[in-house]
Amino acid sequence: MKKHLNTLYVTTQGSYLHKDGETVVVKQEDEVKLRLPIHTIKGIVCFGQVSCSPHLMGFCAENDVALSFLTSYGRFLAKVEGPVSGNVLLRRRQYRMADDPLFSAKMAQYFLIGKISNARTALLRVMRDHPEKGVTEKIQPVAARLANYMDKLKTPGNLDYYRGIEGEAAQTYFSVFNEMIFAQKEDFFFQDRNRRPPLDRINCLLSFFYTLVMHDVRSALESVGLDPAVGFLHRDRPGRPSLALDLMEEFRVFMADRLVLSLINLRQLSGEQFEQSESGAFTMNDEARKTVLTAYQTRKQEEIMHPFLQEKVEVGLLPHVQALLLARFLRGDLDAYPPFVWR
């Protein structure tokens, strides 16, 4: 099994990263703050005004270390990549299958089984952990509706049919997201999903976590030789990592939403750690961003029993495992693609 390596997140503005032998060096105001051997990390994510030397960029590309640049509030800007890796025959097969409407609809079905099932599991766990009457009364009908959407996924249909189910299921799930917040409700409340810009603290957190998950999923797909830009559920669009968005659907609840709720309910974040601009957009301050990144890195080191492999896997390796299974299915080594379904 592939070993899970850490991702280096650099958030301090004005930091400078460069190469020293086989080591990545992080400097702040000419003072060395960190040294990491390149073989101990799988990725570097730079937020805001963080710069890197050209030698380090080339070094990362040569060693298959993903180097990404995001704005200070988490919007993806660019990624440094080396030569395209992987089996060209696998990519050719991926492209042919993505052009097949029936096969694309089948793949959409697989991805949405994972997404909706995991959303329902999250609701069931909230009811189990908070058996208060008011919580159950509001969440139980929504969990039942998600089960109904799961049944609808079994009906053969085209891409538009499955996208319609996905849209309705997502709206249904988020309709009770606010009911899963049990602390600091005066600062953390949820009405609906909004982005670009996020207009409340929870949407700010969701968008930030989704960016982190996207980085990991995209890197996982590239590591197994798949093209993250050519998807099935999400169609091609210039600059859009469609396949990464497809595969990410399985992980939104498990790797992002749950962590947002945990940070709020355990009071690891506070309302004062967010700033609101004149346009109404919310952003995290440096303290909140570091708390979020630490929590994400810690969560990725936890282990879970993989439902298909039936062996323990670190959470941070889940995107890689699913990317491998997807590649095996596209090559014809598996009869069906097994989406990640959280138990």
pLDDT tens for each residue of 103-119: 999 999 999 999 999 99
Write down the domain spans for the chain.
6-80, 88-331
Query: What's the confidence (pLDDT) of residue 93?
Result: 95
Query: What's the confidence (pLDDT) of residue 73?
Result: 63
- For residue range 293-322, list pLDDT tens digits in order: 999 989 998 999 998 888 898 898 899 899
Residue 4, pLDDT > 70, answer no
DSSP 8-state class, residue 146: H
Query: What's the confidence (pLDDT) of residue 235?
Result: 85
Cα of 327 vs its chain's centroid, Å: 19
Residue 281, pLDDT > 90, answer no
- For residue range 219-253, list pLDDT tens digits in order: 889 878 899 999 999 988 877 899 999 999 999 99
| Virtual torsion, Cα 38, 43, 82, 324, nearest 10 deg | 110
Query: What's the confidence (pLDDT) of residue 12?
Result: 84
Query: What is the CATH topology of the domain spanning 88-331?
Result: Four Helix Bundle (Hemerythrin (Met), subunit A) (1.20.120)
CA distance 194 to 211: 15
What does pLDDT average to over the chain? 89
Residue 147, pLDDT > 90, answer yes
| Residue 228 buriedness (CB in 10 A; 0-12 / 13-18 / 19+) | buried
CATH class for domain 6-80? alpha beta
260: pLDDT confidence band, cut at 50, 70 and 90? very high
pLDDT average, residue stretch 176-204: 88
Query: What's the confidence (pLDDT) of residue 74?
Result: 66
Query: What's the confidence (pLDDT) of residue 272?
Result: 92
1: pLDDT confidence band, cut at 50, 70 and 90? very low
DSSP string across 205-253: HHHHHHHHHHHHHHHHHHHTT--TT--SSSPP-TT--HHHHHHHTTTII
pTM of the model: 0.84
More confident residue, 259 or 65: 259
